[in-house]
Structure 1
Amino acid sequence: MKKLRDYEIGIAKLSNKKHSYEFVLDDAFFDEFGKEIILGGNLQAIVEMDKTESLLTFHFDIKGTVKLICDRSLDEFDHPVDVQATFRIRYGEENAELDDDLWQITPNTQSINIAQHLHDYISLSLPMKKLHPRFVEEEEDDDDEQDILIYSSRYDSDTDEEGDDDEDDSDPRWDALRNLN
């Protein structure tokens, strides 16, 4: 967690205007969060913070590649990432998470650590099914074939009714139930 201190933004002494920050997200950054999803990466994050009297607005622009493991072959591959996101923090009486993209902090808060936000935005941009690029075209072809819905039912053209069984083909148990009316 020591490495994550590099992602703290001191807000107490900043003037009310736009401020720009640039961060490099490398393997050491992802090591701090564990390697369950993302093994490593090489990304650049540009964070613009607009500070006003009552609100801090962060605009994230994250670009680069992350190392993932293919779900099919278990091979490691680089996946491109291009994320734009906005996060807001307002001042209030207590610290609280009001929404996914809106937090509340007390006016005496000295700094904000955005490392978790950077990691979350990158993680949420990843596909559910992580496939090596050599499998992507094959998967798209399979998806096209799976989109075809095949449905058949018996249709009697003489009566224009669907699913009417002939008397000879009917199940005697159903006939007994129909006679209960």
Structure 2
Amino acid sequence: MKKLRDYEIGIAKLSNKKHTYEFALNDAFFEEFGKEIILGGNLTAQVEMDKSESLLTFHFDIKGTVQLICDRSLDEFEYPVDVQTTFRIRYGEEDAELDNDLWQITPNTQAINIAQHLYDYICLSLPMKKLHPRFVEEDEEEENEQDILIYSSRYDSDKADDDEDDEDDSDPRWDALKNLN
């Protein structure tokens, strides 16, 4: 975890304005999180932090490629990543995660490590079904074949006229229920 200290931002001594950081996310970064999801990668993360009296707003712009394993063939392949997202931290009485994109920290917090956030945003941008590019076209064709309309609820005016005639031939059980008040 020593390598993740490179992704720490000291906030205590910063003035209230925008600050820009650039981080390299390479194989060493992904090794710290294990290789279950992402084998490696070559990405750059532009992080813009807007500090105010009561709020820190982080704007992440992550671009590059990651190494994944195909779910179908178990071959390794490169997958492009392009993520733009925002994360906010406010000051409060205790450290707490209030929402996925809103945290609360105490005013005496000296630094924030954003490594986990970078990793999470990259993982969230990956597809559920990781397919090698050679299988993507085949998979799209199969999905298009499955897009067959089975039921239509389109209004048909001729049929509506027939329905009006059917009202006279209603079920007497329903007529008895209509009279109940």
TM (norm. structure 1) is 0.82
TM alignment of 1:111-122, pairs within 5 A: 111-122=111-122
Alpha-carbon distance in structure 1 between the residues aligned to 2:146 and 2:129: 16
- Give the CA deviation at 1:122: 0.2
**1:45 Cα deviation from its structure 2 partner:** 0.1
1:58 aligns with 58
Question: Residues of 2 paired with 1:107 and 1:149: CA distance?
Answer: 58
Counterpart of 1:2 in structure 2 is 2
Structure 1 position 148, deviation (Å): 1.4
Shift of 1:149: 4.4
- How far 1:147 sits from its partner (Å)? 1.5
C-alpha separation in 1, matches of 2:2 and 2:140: 42
Where do residues 94-133 of structure 1 align in structure 2 (5 Å cutoff)? 94-133=94-133
* Structure 1 match to 2:83: 83
The one-letter code sitting in structure 1 at the alignment partner of 2:107 is P
1:27 and 1:150 map into 2 onto residues whose CA distance is 48
Aligned residues: 153
SS state of the match for residue 122, structure 1?
Answer: helix
Query: RMSD over aligned Cα, in angstroms?
Result: 1.3
User: What is aligned with 2:40?
Assistant: 40
Q: 1:33 aligns to what SS in structure 2?
A: coil
Q: 1:46-86 deviations in whole A, cap 9, x for unaligned?
A: 00000000000000000000000000110000000000010
Counterpart in the other structure of 1:170: none
Gaps of 5+ in 1: 152-159, 161-181
Which residue number in structure 1 is paired with residue 141 of structure 2? Answer: 141
Identity fraction in percent: 86
1:14-29 map, 5 Å: 14-29=14-29
Q: What corresponds to 1:71 in structure 2?
A: 71
Q: Secondary structure at the match of 1:98?
A: strand
User: How far apart, CA to CA, are the structure 2 residues paired with 1:46 and 1:123?
Assistant: 17
CA distance in 2, matches of 1:100, 1:47: 18
| SS of corresponding position for 2:145 | helix
Q: Write the letter of the residue equivalent to 2:124.
A: L
In the aligned structure 1, how far is the partner of 2:56 from the partner of 2:109? Answer: 12
How far apart are residue 150 of structure 1 and its match?
Answer: 4.6
